[in-house]
Amino acid sequence: MNHTASTTTDHAIEAPGAGRTATPFLRALQWSVRLELWQHRWIVIGPLVAASILVATSVLEAIGAPGNIAALLARAPDARRVAIAHPYGLSAGMIAMAAFFMGIFYCIEALQSERSDRSILFWKSLPVSDATIVLSKAWIPLVVLPLIVYAVTLVAQTIMAVTSTFALIATGGDPAALWRELSLERPIVHLYGIAVMAILHSPLYAWILMVSAWARRRALVWVFLPPYLIGAAEQLAFGHSNVKKLIGHLIMEPFARGFALDPYAHAKMPAFDRVAQIDPASVFGRPGTWIGLAATTLFLLIAIRFRRDRELT
Amino acid sequence: MPCIEVSGLRKTYGSTVALDGIDLVVEEGRILGLVGPNAAGKSTALHALVGLIDCEGSIRVLGKDPRLERHRLMNDVSFIADVAVLPRWIRVGQLLDYVGGVHPRFDRARAEGFMARGQIRASDQVRKLSKGTVTQLHLAVIMAIDSRLLVLDEPTLGLDPLARKKFYDALIQDYFDHTRTIVVSTNQIDEIQDVLTDFAFLDRGRIVLSGSMDAFESRYTQLRVQPGQLDAARALRPIHERDVFGQSILTFDGADRDRLERLGDARTPTLGDLFVAVMERRSGAHEVVR
C-alpha cells in the first residue's frame, strides 16, 4: 500500500531561496582545491622543507669552504658552466623529486580517506559533483604542487646565488664572473621542466587516484602490488620484464625530459638552463605522451564513476 | 508535483534485505517522521532519497533522480547523516567558508547564530569538540541552508535533552518561517510527535504502518482499564495489551471512544505507544491510517 503525506493548505508552497542559481563549476573547483590545501598543509610545507635543507647545505658549504666558487670559476669554460650550473640543476631536480613522492602519497589517500572517516557523507550532502571533487584532487599533483615547487625552487636558487656571491666577495673573487655563468633563463627552463614533468607523470597520479577511489582499504597495497606481481611473473616466465621497464620509464622519463636528469644516460647531470635547449617536440612529438594523456583521462573518468557508485557499508 | 515519489524501492546487501519494496509519496510542506527499530532500513531509505546508494525501483525527489543528479539535487536538499561525519581535521571557520563557497543557499550569519547558542568558535577544530558539540555544529550548518527539503537521519543523536528540545523548536520555527518539507528518522518518537504532520513505521525494510497525525489521533485510543472491566474491554478487540504496575493498558484501533470511556480512562496514545503496539503484534502487512 502506498503512503501519501498530503499537502497542507495552511501555508503557500514556495521554493525557498528561489532565484539563487547553482554554484558555477570553476567556483566549486576553486573552493575544493582550497579545501585540499587546508587538509594537506604538508603539500606546501614539504617542498619548503626540502628547499630549506638544500639552501642550508649550500650556505654551510659557502661558509665552510668559501674558496670553492672561485676554484670552479677557474676551470675551462665548458667545465666551468657545468660545474656552476650543477647545484642549481640538482636543487631543482631534488625538490621536484620530493614533490613527486608527495604527490604519490597524497593521491593514495585522497579518495579513500573520505570514505574511511565517513566524511564523504557530509561532502556528498553538498551541491558539489563527483567530477569536481576528483578533479580538485587531481589538480593538487598536476598543478598546485608543480607551482609550489616552482616558487620554492626559485627562492632557494636565488638564496644560493646570493650566498655564492658573498662567498666570492669574501675570498676576493669577481662576482660578475659568477653571474656571467648563471643563466637568467633558468626560471623559464625550470617552468618548462615542471610542466613537462606534471604532464608525463599524470598517468601515474590518475592511476593512483583511481585505485584510491576503488579500494575499500589499503590503497597503498593495491597501487603497487598488481604492477609488481605482473612484473615479477613476466620476469619469471621470460627472464625479463617489459612491465618493470615501463614503470621505471614512467617514473624517470619526466625527470629526463623536464630537467635533463637522466640517471641511465648521464653519470653527471648536464647543464640544462638555456631556453634554446628546450625541445617540446621531444615530448609532444612522441605517441607515448598522448597515450599517457589518454590514459590519464580514462583513469580520472573511472575514478569519478567509482566515487559516485561506491557505497558505504 | 510531490516532493518525494518512491515506488517499489528495494535494496539488498548480499542476502540481507535492507529495503523490501517501499512505496512513499510525500507532498511539499509535510513533515514525515520515519520510525523504526534498529536495522529497520531507515538510514538506507534516507540514503536512497539523497542519491547515496543505488536501489531497485524508482525515486523522484523534487522531480529529479537522486542517483543521477545528486549534486544538482543538493542545491535544494539538506541532509544530515546518522553518524558524526564532519571531517575531524577541519576548523569551524574553514567549514563555514567552504560550505558558503559551494552552496548558493547557505546563510553564514544564520549558521553563526546557531553556533553562538552552542558556544562554538570559528577557530575550533572539529576533533577537539565533544560529540554533542559536533552534532550541534552540523545541525547549525544544515539549518542555515535555505533548502526545499530537509532529510534528517537521527539528527539529535548524542545531544542532551535540552539541546534536542532547542533543535526541534528551531526546526518547527524554521518550518513555519520557510515552509519546507522535512523527512526525519528517529528512535526518540515522543520528542518529535508534536512536530510531525505524518508518520511511517518501518520494520525489516518495509513500511508497516503509515498515515497522517490527524488520522492517527482520531483512529487510535489507549484505555487504562478500570478494575472489573477488563473482560468487557478485551471484547472490543484491542490491538495491544500490556500491564503497568498491575493495571491493564489496552490500545484500540478504530474503537468507539465513548464506549471505551465507560470502561476506564481513555486517551489518545503517544506515537511511541502505537509503535510498541504495532511492533509487538507485527504481522508483516503495511497498513495505512485513514
Q: Which residue has the higher pLDDT, A43 or A10?
A: A43
Q: How much is the average pLDDT of A308-312?
A: 83
Q: Which residue has the higher pLDDT, B264 or A174?
A: B264
Q: Fill in the amino acid letter for A229.
A: L
Residues 59-118 (B) with a CB less than 8 A from some CB of A: 70-76, 78-81, 83-91, 94, 97-99, 101-105
Question: DSSP per residue over B155-207, as a string?
Answer: TTTT--HHHHHHHHHHHHHHHHHH--EEEEEES-HHHHTTT-SEEEEEETTEE
Question: Number of helices (H) and strands (E), helices first, in chain B?
Answer: 11, 14
Q: How much is the average pLDDT of B78-84?
A: 83
- A217 CB contacts (<8 Å, ≥6 apart)? A112, A116
pLDDT digits (tens, 9 = 90+) for B111-161: 998 888 777 889 999 999 988 889 889 989 998 999 999 999 988 887 888
For residue B286, pLDDT beyond 50: no
Q: Fill in the amino acid letter for A28.
A: A
| The CATH fold of domain B4-204 | Rossmann fold (3.40.50)
Contact criterion met (CB < 8 Å) for A124 and B52: yes
% of chain A residues with pLDDT over 70 = 89
Contact criterion met (CB < 8 Å) for A38 and B71: no
A51 within a domain of the structure (yes/no): yes
Residues 100-119 (A) with a CB less than 8 A from some CB of B: 114, 117-119
Domain tally, chain A: 1
Helix (H, G, I), strand (E, B) or coil at A199: helix
Contact criterion met (CB < 8 Å) for B87 and A313: no
Identify the H or E element spanning B265.
Answer: strand B264-267
ipTM surpasses 0.85? yes
- A213 CB contacts (<8 Å, ≥6 apart)? A111, A112, A134, A302, A303, A304, A306, A307, A310
CB A134 within 8 Å of CB A111: yes
Q: Which residue has the higher pLDDT, B211 or A70?
A: B211
A217 within a domain of the structure (yes/no): yes
Sheet holding B4-13, edge to edge: A4-5, B16-26, B4-13, B56-61
For residue B243, pLDDT beyond 80: yes
CB A310 within 8 Å of CB A115: yes
Contact criterion met (CB < 8 Å) for B74 and A39: no
pLDDT for A15:
44
Contact criterion met (CB < 8 Å) for B30 and A1: no
Angstroms from A140 CA to nearest CA on chain B: 17
Under 8 Å CB pairs connecting chains A and B tally to 152
For residue A13, pLDDT beyond 50: no
User: Which chain B positions have a beta carbon within 8 Å of A110's beta carbon?
Assistant: none
Nearest-angstrom CA–CA distance, A213 and A107: 10
Q: Full-prediction pTM beyond 0.80?
A: yes
CA nearest to A125 within chain B: B79
Whole-number mean pLDDT of chain B?
89
Q: Whose CA is closest to B74, among B150, B181, B143, B177?
A: B150
% of chain B residues with pLDDT over 90 = 56
User: Which chain A positions have a beta carbon within 8 Å of B199's beta carbon?
Assistant: none
A125 within a domain of the structure (yes/no): yes
Residues 127-146 (A) with a CB less than 8 A from some CB of B: 127-130, 132
Task: Write out the residue range of the structural domain in which residue A136 sits.
Answer: 40-309
pLDDT digits (tens, 9 = 90+) for A180-222: 888 888 889 889 989 999 999 999 999 999 999 999 888 889 9
